[in-house]
Amino acid sequence: MAEKILEVKDLAISFKTQYGILKAIRGVSFDLYKGETLAIVGESGSGKSVTSRAIMGLLAGNSIYEGGSINYNGRDLMQLPEELFHEIRGSKISMIFQDPMSSLNPIVKVGKQITEALVFKMGMPQEMAKKKAIELMQQVGIPNAEKRYNQYPFQFSGGMRQRIVISIALANNAEILICDEPTTALDVTIQGQILELIEKLKVERNLSVIFITHDLGVVANVANRIAVMYAGKIVEVGKADEVFYDPKHPYTWALLSSMPNLATSKHLDAISGTPPNMIYPPVGDAFAPRNKYALEIDFEEQPPFFKVTDTHYAATWLLHPDAPKVELPKAVITLREKRGKLKNDR
């Protein structure tokens, strides 16, 4: 079995707001294994980015740590003082954000921004750092790297800026790379190139990747496992094939039904309603008001995780032995048919 590199257990984080305490993360648990890509998928506000920022020690000042742990190399990151966390952040665990311009200084040449990571984190001499920075730029697919080393971020396209951010993230030989919606602002062609680059670097460097996205389709070909988040909880987790082709939670069904390439008609099936106000977290299943398959118990009690396989779990009362059988959405049936056809073609 693969080596576990990160363990998040019962993590709970809230935020102070002018309207009250917002329960952002409510008992999130998952493991990350050496060399794998774990995708965390869900709508905006589901808690994906808060989870990633907790791992990086980058929570906002109004955050409240309610409990749980994030264990890395035998240490609970939630208990580390900032001076010790600083040694891990960027060196062992790096992060790529959605907008590369939020990570890059617009008035500093990109080459200097890469070398700073090498000089200050690794103590590398300036000339050696410059050589290494150019090598990194070449590795992430920046053409004419020596010339572009002396250019500013505004002289690069969005895709090329994201490549620069990736080179900075990997400058210190990090073991874990967190990608927070890294392709959302890019067009489809460039999006595919960045995904291929991340996958290539993962294999070459034996990285462990946490890929955060609102779009299941983005991670279809890169994720080893998928965790689906809703209202601060993981509601389904399993191998990528299990979540795509044998999903069990109605929220996962809804996400799959809203994917453009799976639309079974000219119109996409948008998820009705809106996520709950987490200042007033629901008593039962948070997805119940938006779930046309909801049972009476969904409004009264949160469902536990039910085991589907040794690697696949879902928190839905529909998996209870006494639950009624429901008709699957067309998108899920279409996926299963496509999978069957692919198997037969082989």
Answer whether 110's CB lies under 8 Å from 153's CB.
yes
Residue 142 lies in a domain: no
What's the distance, CA 266 to chain centroid? 29
> CA separation (Å) from 235 to 2, 50, 228?
24, 16, 6
**pLDDT value at 59 more than 50:** yes
pLDDT in tens, 310-319: 999 999 999 9
Please state, in angstroms and rounded to a whole number, the distance separating the CA atoms of residues 165 and 90: 12
**Residue 305 located in a structural domain:** yes
pLDDT band at 172 (very low <50, low <70, confident <90, very high): confident
CATH of the domain at 338: 3.40.50.300
Q: For residue 80, what are the CA distances in angstroms to 34, 70, 122, 254?
A: 22, 10, 21, 39
User: Which of 265 and 83 is assigned the larger pLDDT?
Assistant: 83
Tell me what pLDDT residue 262 has. 47
Average pLDDT over residues 10-35: 97
Least confident of 141-150, 190-199, 293-302: 190-199
Lowest average pLDDT, out of 26-40, 274-288, 332-346, goes to 332-346
What is the residue range of 291's domain? Answer: 1-92+213-346
Q: Is residue 128 one of the residues assigned to a domain?
A: no
Q: Does 103 map to a domain? A: no
Coil, helix or strand at residue 111: helix
As for how many domains the chain has, the answer is 1
Residue 83 lies in a domain: yes
Residue 225: predicted pLDDT: 97
Question: Residue 100 domain-assigned?
Answer: no
Mean pLDDT within 210-232: 93
pLDDT at 140 over 90: yes
Residue 133 lies in a domain: no
**Region of poorest pLDDT, from 178-182, 214-218, 227-231, 308-312:** 214-218
- What is the predicted pLDDT for the residue at 264? 46
- Among the listed ranges 7-16, 60-69, 93-102, 233-242, which one has the minimum average pLDDT value? 93-102
* pLDDT at residue 1 in the model: 59
Give the Å distances, CA to CA, from 64 to 50, 56, 145: 12, 16, 44
Indicate if the pLDDT at residue 165 is higher than 70. yes
Average pLDDT, whole number, for the chain?
Answer: 91
User: Contact, 210 vs 55, CB < 8 A?
Assistant: yes
In a domain, 253, yes or no: yes
Whether 346 shows a pLDDT value over 60: the answer reads no
The closest alpha carbon to 96, from 213, 262, 253, 255, belongs to 213
- Mean pLDDT, residues 303-332 taken together: 95
Does pLDDT of 60 surpass 50?
yes
**How far is residue 105 from each of residues 100, 111, 164, 176, 308, measured CA to CA in Å?**
10, 11, 12, 24, 47
The answer on pLDDT for 84 being more than 90 is no
